[in-house]
Amino acid sequence: MRTQTSETRTMRIGTLFLTDNWPDKNIRKFLNYIQHLEAEGFDNVWMANLQDLDALTALALAGPATSSIGLGSAVTPIQVRHPVAMAQQALTTAIACDNRFTLGIGLSHKVVIEDMLGLSYRHPAAHMQEYLDILMPLLRGEAVRHQGPLYRVDGRLKLGTGRPVPCIVGALGPRMLKIAGTLADGTVTWMTGPKTLNSHIIPTITRAAAVAGRPSPRVVAGLPVSLCQDVPAARARLNESLKLYGVLPSYRAMLDREGVAGPGDIALLGDEESLQRQVVALRDMGVTDLNAAVLEVEPGSQRRTIAFLAKLRAWMDA
């Protein structure tokens, strides 16, 4: 690996915990794996909140079992939790993690919220804005008095963490990025390729934060990553295994903006030299965190990729 200069940006390297790899949902195995990633030197572990393990509960359990690794949800849907309940659980998780926790929230998708759960998916961006108006002060330990079309809140939580809980938003479209930059601490993306990150995500949210007088936002880029030999075969396999994401409207819009056909086409793939170039390019464009979804695209690729990313992280931190 080439020498890193003092002028280059730093970027945290984390990995996405994929519950599909743990069909028995064994919590001890989950904690052992998080401990393994911490020992490897990863900056963060991110956990999606799907139809299995609850991310905040699982990460609260991981807090006392670890000592240095950052733990974050990417992401927890807002519609199923009142903002006060979300804040209370996030503050509790942050206490369990010694303030190593980042709350990632999102809107999920109409097919989940409306079709599966029977809840409203009308005006999702307005819902997120009102939600953040309540959530963010609570995460800072402040009282909230709010009356809006969706929520009425008057009170505060008696949970002191010593510092605000960072909150990032799954924001992809222009309006959501403006909301995230204005009210939250950044964004976490998925199915969003490097060109779109560079030309759309980063400048839009950075501009919104600057206008609002807020610090530079955190940009957590979730991408499939694999150290592999047969790149075309790996892309084809990812296009098949991740095909659901290629049809969900918000992700499809990002893939179309990138100019690609499917999820495999935005994956970071190749040998060590090629992967290093791709990761460094993300860092140099302003991505603050890589959230690597490490999938088995050929025998042993998952294990090799984790080892490579740990080595790359150490180099980038040197």
Q: For position 292, what pLDDT does the model report?
A: 98
Rounded percentage of the chain residues whose pLDDT exceeds 70? 96
pLDDT above 80 for 7: no
Task: Indicate which CATH number applies to the domain containing 189.
Answer: 3.20.20.30
Q: For position 8, what pLDDT does the model report?
A: 52
Q: For position 5, what pLDDT does the model report?
A: 38
Q: Are 187 and 177 in contact (CB under 8 A)?
A: yes
At residue 165, φ and ψ (nearest 5 deg) are -80, 120
Asked if residue 2 is part of any domain, the answer here is: no
Q: For position 6, what pLDDT does the model report?
A: 34
Q: Mean pLDDT over residues 29-45, rounded?
A: 95
What is the tens place of the pLDDT at every residue in 175-194?
999 999 999 999 999 999 99
Asked if residue 201 is part of any domain, the answer here is: yes
| Count of structural domains, the chain | 1
Q: For position 10, what pLDDT does the model report?
A: 87
Domain, as residue range, for 90:
12-222+287-293
Q: Mean pLDDT over residues 27-55, rounded?
A: 93
What is the tens place of the pLDDT at every residue in 273-305?
999 999 999 999 999 999 999 999 999 999 999
Q: For position 4, what pLDDT does the model report?
A: 38
Q: What is the CA radius of gyration of the chain?
A: 19
Asked if residue 257 is part of any domain, the answer here is: no
At residue 166, φ and ψ (nearest 5 deg) are -60, 140
Reading the block at residue 234, the tokens are: 């790996």
What is the tens place of the pLDDT at every residue in 71-113?
999 999 999 999 999 999 999 999 999 999 999 999 999 999 9
pLDDT above 60 for 171: yes
Mean pLDDT of the chain: 94
How far is residue 107's CA from residue 40's CA, in Å, rounded to a whole number? Answer: 32
Q: How confident is the model at residue 130 (pLDDT cuts 50, 70, 90)?
A: very high
At residue 147, φ and ψ (nearest 5 deg) are -130, 115
Asked if residue 151 is part of any domain, the answer here is: yes
Torsion of CA 302, 303, 305, 311, to 10 degrees: 160
Q: How confident is the model at residue 1 (pLDDT cuts 50, 70, 90)?
A: very low
Q: For position 242, what pLDDT does the model report?
A: 96
Looking at the DSSP bridge assignments, the partners of residue 223 are 292
Asked if residue 261 is part of any domain, the answer here is: no
Q: Mean pLDDT over residues 265-279, rounded?
A: 98
How far is residue 274's CA from residue 291's CA, in Å, rounded to a whole number? Answer: 18
Q: How confident is the model at residue 21 (pLDDT cuts 50, 70, 90)?
A: low
Asked if residue 103 is part of any domain, the answer here is: yes
Q: For position 152, what pLDDT does the model report?
A: 98
What is the tens place of the pLDDT at every residue in 213-250?
999 999 999 999 999 999 999 999 999 999 999 999 99
Asked if residue 57 is part of any domain, the answer here is: yes
- Strands (DSSP E) found in 85-195: 101-106, 144-147, 152-155, 167-169, 186-190
pLDDT above 90 for 20: no
